[in-house]
A and B are shown apart, each in its own frame.
Chain A
Amino acid sequence: MDMALEIAVAAIKIFIVLNVVQLVVAYTIYVERKVIAHAQMRLGPMRVGWHGLLQPIADGLKLFLKEDIIPDKADRIVFVLAPVMVLVPAFVVYAVLPFSATFYITQINIGLFFILAISSLGVFGIVMAGWASNSKYSLLGALRSAAQMLSYEIFLGFSVIGPLMLAGSMNLQEIVHAQSDVWFVFYQPIAFIVFFIAAMAETNRAPFDLPEAETELVAGFHTEYSGMKFAFFFLAEYANMFVVSTVGIVLFFGGWEGPDFIPLPGFVWYVLKLSVFMFVFIWLRATLPRYRYDQLMRVGWKFMFPLVMLNIFLTGFLKYLFL
């Protein structure tokens, strides 16, 4: 009986989280369009609803109704499977994300490891999409994407080691509790910088959006996708942005905990911090040009990799000395 109850509660939670995430993703796209529009001195979506507030719903409806084209020479099975392969890991990761002290789907003692492991599966979908499309633009985009995401996953993985060493746990809840006095971003500035850059590259966001560099490769790996399949890639990208932002908040900014003198519920703190992260993502996209492929690799391997290694060494050394 307990078992059934637990499953029911979990199912309800999953239902809530999935739907909320999808809605929030849709409205993040709206916010992104608005923020970038105002950076560029224009209005952005204004027609559908008050100040274009219904725009995401109209867009979603449009994508649903669009003809679903599969290119003639495409590998049909892989072509259909690829968007699913991208979207599913992006959402599975939400299982362990802590949104507040009490609200999370589940809690496992290797939470962070689980996130890294599952989110790295997304790259398979992208490579599959690029290959199955049987298009040169898609293939080039997918190759770039694979190289980029694999490389930056390494830095992402190494950059979280510093905070992990301080917290002494992979459980996301415990990592947050370990920061109740001081946020780890003050102990681990280098790790945070590397983490943030790697997170941008990992989610294919500007200035690292070269897998889908529209001026060179049309739309990169999803050139041949339309309708809901395209929407899947889009959803996955934004869902991944939320994941890396949440991980960043948990590891470096004390998760849902805020300063004691401002009594706000944990969930509100989480949303506030998340908004700041998302705003920075959007802001950078409005400001920066795009890196070139070889420069991206050089930045990664020649600059970030030594830096993050140094950070691990320093963290260990200082911890040994002072703690």
Chain B
Amino acid sequence: MVGVANVSRIEQQSTVHGTEELVINMGPQHPSTHGVLRVILKLDGETVNDLDCDIGYLHRGTEKIGENITYTMFIPYTDRLDYIAAPSNNLAWVTAVEKFFDWEIPMRAQYIRSMVGELSRIASHLLWLATHALDIGAMTVFLWCFREREMVLDLFETAFGGRLTVNAFRLGGLHEDVPDKFLQLTQEFIDIFPSRIDDYETLLTNNRIWLQRTRDVGIISAEDAMDLGLTGPIIRGSGVSWDLRRAKPYAAYPYLDFVVPVGENGDIYDRYLVRIEELRQSTRIIQQCLEQLPGGPVTCKTPRTIKPPEGEIYHSIENPKGEFGFYIVSDGTTTPYRVRIRPPSFINLGGLKKLCVGQLVADVVAIIGSIDIVLGECDR
């Protein structure tokens, strides 16, 4: 009876001096929501009790656009999905469409696709590291990363003319062969890049403050990550060795030797280590591509109008941010009947609530950074 009386007294008190959750609106204009993500946080002091994501501020109806234009015309639109790593999106689209046909893509094109895909992975991971470190307060890493990202963008410019939206590949191969200067500059870049990764690591990897901010924060178990359908460095950080370059090889990946790094605890620090190791592995892959690069044509014989047979396909590749897939329904005409995009950012963002509840406000920023989202692809 005493217990009951106490409880009712507490209830009475809490109605008199009622405490409320503090609802904070983070975004869409907020320095660290990485674009136009809006997060509505319910806070108890500094602890996050609940959160809600509001997305769609960058919705451009890309899927619908895809239904109204030809397969070739859609390639530049894919640039605008994950605009941090545009060539990867091109690669996903062209390999998806090519699945309708039995074209033999020349090996030179395959190797260049892999190489450019890895360069875009480096570009994407560098932007992630830059902004993630800045969110946690390490300013210098930000500009160091941009220095190297600039070099990668210069490489894209040399090869394809564009820097951010490169429109790199064509159905059946490449538009034209890359200039020799591109190969030479790529070699120069990967010669210096490993030492630059060491530079970033000296600032962060063993930094006590960085460890305190990232270790045991935003933990997700392998099981939960799989249930939520998370892909990319997040699930690898939780210890699941799932990489489509290994699981369902495309382009030149079957011939390339690389390690799929995995973490143990699934916290922010593990995701950080996984991505840093991926930077090194990408460098290795590019080196191998340069060494093994065969001669010959860069495009196969393709019909003037691309008319895939009636049917549907799903094809996905390992984008820097996770599994990036296209589901295409063809009705046998020159335009797709339906284009559906599986964006890794959108699905990975679904894990945000699971990662954030119970953590502090400062961690939310770190966790969003460690998921590595890009809203162009999330909102489509």
Which residues of A are interface residues toward B (Cβ below 8 A)?
A: 36, 39-42, 136-137, 140, 144, 206-207, 209-210, 213-218, 285-295
Contact B362 A210 (CB under 8 A): yes
Contact A293 B138 (CB under 8 A): no
Task: Indicate whether B333 reaches chain A with its CB closer than 8 angstroms.
Answer: no
Question: What are 8 sample pairs from A and B whose C-beta atoms fall under 8 A apart?
Answer: A136-B24, A140-B46, A216-B362, A288-B137, A289-B136, A289-B204, A289-B210, A292-B212
For residue A293, which residues in chain B have a CB less than 8 angstroms away from its CB? 46, 360, 362
Please report the C-alpha to C-alpha distance between residue A287 and residue B200 in the assembled complex, in whole angstroms. Answer: 11
User: Which one of B140-148, B282-290, B336-344 contacts A?
Assistant: B140-148
Please report the C-alpha to C-alpha distance between residue A96 and residue B46 in the assembled complex, in whole angstroms. Answer: 39
In the complex, besides A288-B137, A294-B360, 7 extra interface pairs with C-beta distance below 8 angstroms are: A36-B139, A41-B144, A136-B24, A140-B361, A144-B46, A287-B140, A288-B207
Please report the C-alpha to C-alpha distance between residue A295 and residue B363 in the assembled complex, in whole angstroms. Answer: 12
Known: A40-B142, A40-B143, A290-B209. Is A213-B362 also a contact (CB below 8 A)? yes
Task: Indicate whether B110 reaches chain A with its CB closer than 8 angstroms.
Answer: no
Digitize B346-374: 1 where CB-to-A-CB distance is under 8 Å, 0 elsewhere: 00000000000000111111000000000
Q: Which residue of B lies closest to A285 (CB)?
A: B139
Shortest CB-to-CB span from B28 to chain A, Å, is: 13
Of the residues B137, B144, B204, contact of A213 by C-beta under 8 Å: B137
Most B CB atoms within 10 A — which of A136, A144, A290?
A290
Please report the C-alpha to C-alpha distance between residue A39 and residue B140 in the assembled complex, in whole angstroms. Answer: 7
Please report the C-alpha to C-alpha distance between residue A247 and residue B207 in the assembled complex, in whole angstroms. Answer: 29
Contact A289 B143 (CB under 8 A): no
Digitize B17-39: 1 where CB-to-A-CB distance is under 8 Å, 0 elsewhere: 00000101000001110000000
For residue B58, which residues in chain A have a CB less than 8 angstroms away from its CB? none
Please report the C-alpha to C-alpha distance between residue A136 and residue B40 in the assembled complex, in whole angstroms. Answer: 13
Contact B140 A291 (CB under 8 A): no
Of the residues B135, B144, B207, B212, contact of A295 by C-beta under 8 Å: B212
Q: Which residue of B lies closest to A144 (CB)?
A: B46
Contact B213 A289 (CB under 8 A): yes
Contacting residues of chain B (119-153) with chain A, CB-CB under 8 angstroms: 133-140, 142-144, 147
Contact A289 B140 (CB under 8 A): no
For residue A285, which residues in chain B have a CB less than 8 angstroms away from its CB? 139
For residue B144, which residues in chain A have a CB less than 8 angstroms away from its CB? 40-41
Most B CB atoms within 10 A — which of A207, A209, A216, A285?
A216
Task: Indicate whether B203 reaches chain A with its CB closer than 8 angstroms.
Answer: yes
Contact A209 B203 (CB under 8 A): no
Q: Which residue of B lies closest to A39 (CB)?
A: B140
Please report the C-alpha to C-alpha distance between residue A292 and residue B214 in the assembled complex, in whole angstroms. Answer: 10
For residue B46, which residues in chain A have a CB less than 8 angstroms away from its CB? 140, 144, 293-294
Contacting residues of chain B (77-95) with chain A, CB-CB under 8 angstroms: none
Contact B209 A289 (CB under 8 A): yes
Of the residues A39, A291, A294, contact of B209 by C-beta under 8 Å: A291
**3 cross-chain pairs, A with B, having the tightest CB-CB distances, nearest first:** A290-B137, A40-B143, A215-B32
Shortest CB-to-CB span from B2 to chain A, Å, is: 35
Q: Which residue of A lies closest to B214 (CB)?
A: A289
Please report the C-alpha to C-alpha distance between residue A225 and residue B188 in the assembled complex, in whole angstroms. Answer: 48
Please report the C-alpha to C-alpha distance between residue A290 and residue B144 in the assembled complex, in whole angstroms. Answer: 18
Shortest CB-to-CB span from A34 to chain B, Å, is: 14
Q: Which residue of B lies closest to A207 (CB)?
A: B209
For residue A209, which residues in chain B have a CB less than 8 angstroms away from its CB? 137
